[in-house]
């Protein structure tokens, strides 16, 4: 769901956070946060080059927007939608450019859940994410602070994602919790007590 401008793509520079007690430490931890060849090499060493590109390909293929665009294009009936997709290309289609543009910058990942990590399905309680997607998110969280931002209740999103090393922002950001200190995340912060209604 990331919209990448076709021209002049840039990565936003971090700005100072003036909110005391923010769950996101500022300045963010530096170790391993800049996207660099070293970081990519580490991911490749961890997953293997084939596995890394396999994950990217699999995320590309399972992307709901990719699937919708492919269906619209093959049916040849939704020209307007296809044109919209052409103006708003998938970030996964620009992966190498994004890596290049991000070099040396501080990166934080914010991920939507429904329709991004999971497919859109009729029953909201059955919007499960695949194990491959979970593996990809776990791998991303090893390198960058990673947050799931959802309209859903935070506990429900956690029940789907099941990764303690992430930040979770539920109820459209009204309810935020950082990674557990005991989790594998090197970006852990104090937990904020709160629960779903
Ligand atoms: O902010 P999100 O994480 O994208 O959550 C938005 C809403 O997602 C859910 O509804 C959507 O997904 C359902 C499951 O695929 C689908 O059945 C429904 O039609 C979609 O609107 C969730 O149920 C809502 O509470 C969230 O606000």
Mean pLDDT of all residues in 151-172: 97
121 lines ligand 1 (CB under 6 A): yes
Distances (CA, A) of 170 to 6, 62, 67, 177, 197: 31, 24, 26, 9, 12
* Domains identified in the chain, total number: 2
Q: Say if 42 falls within a structural domain.
A: yes
Q: Say if 22 falls within a structural domain.
A: no
| One domain for residues 113 and 95 | no
Q: Say if 29 falls within a structural domain.
A: no
Q: Quick one: which atom of ligand 1 is closest to the CA of 153? A: 25
Secondary element (H or E) of residue 176: strand 175-177
Q: Say if 157 falls within a structural domain.
A: yes
pLDDT tens by residue, 104-129: 998 999 999 999 999 999 999 999 99
Mean pLDDT of all residues in 140-151: 96
Q: Work out the mean pLDDT of the chain and round it to a whole number.
A: 74
| One domain for residues 38 and 96 | yes
Ligand 1: which residue has its CA nearest to atom 6? Answer: 151
- Beta-carbon contacts of 134 under 8 Å, excluding residues fewer than 6 positions away, are 161, 162, 163
| One domain for residues 119 and 137 | yes
Mean pLDDT of all residues in 86-102: 88
The CATH number that applies at residue 127 is 3.40.50.1000
| One domain for residues 58 and 77 | yes
- 84 pLDDT band, cuts 50/70/90, is confident
Domain extent, residue 156, equals 108-188
Secondary element (H or E) of residue 42: helix 37-47
Would you state the pLDDT for residue 108? 94
- 36 vs 50, higher pLDDT: 50
Would you state the pLDDT for residue 90? 85
As given in the structure block, the two tokens for residue 28 are: 């963010």
pLDDT tens by residue, 7-29: 333 333 333 333 343 333 344 44
Ligand 1: which residue has its CA nearest to atom 20? Answer: 120
């Amino acid at each position: 769901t990331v919209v990448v401008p076709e021209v002049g793509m840039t990565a936003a520079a971090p700005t100072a956070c003036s909110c005391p007690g923010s769950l996101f430490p500022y300045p963010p931890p530096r170790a391993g946060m800049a996207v660099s060849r070293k970081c990519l090499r580490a991911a490749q060493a961890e997953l293997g080059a084939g596995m890394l590109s396999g994950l990217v390909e699999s995320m590309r293929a399972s992307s709901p927007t990719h699937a919708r665009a492919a269906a619209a294009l093959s049916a040849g009936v939704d020209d307007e939608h296809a044109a919209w997709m052409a103006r708003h290309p998938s970030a996964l289609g620009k992966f190498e450019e994004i890596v290049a543009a991000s070099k040396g910058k501080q990166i934080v990942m914010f991920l939507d859940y429904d329709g991004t990590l999971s497919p859109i399905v009729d029953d909201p309680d059955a919007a499960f994410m695949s194990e491959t997607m979970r593996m990809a998110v776990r791998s991303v969280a090893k390198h960058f602070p990673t947050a799931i931002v959802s309209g859903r209740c935070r506990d429900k999103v956690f029940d789907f994602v099941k990764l303690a090393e992430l930040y979770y922002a539920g109820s459209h950001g009204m309810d935020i919790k950082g990674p557990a200190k005991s989790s594998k995340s090197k970006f852990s912060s104090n937990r904020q007590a709160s629960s779903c209604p």
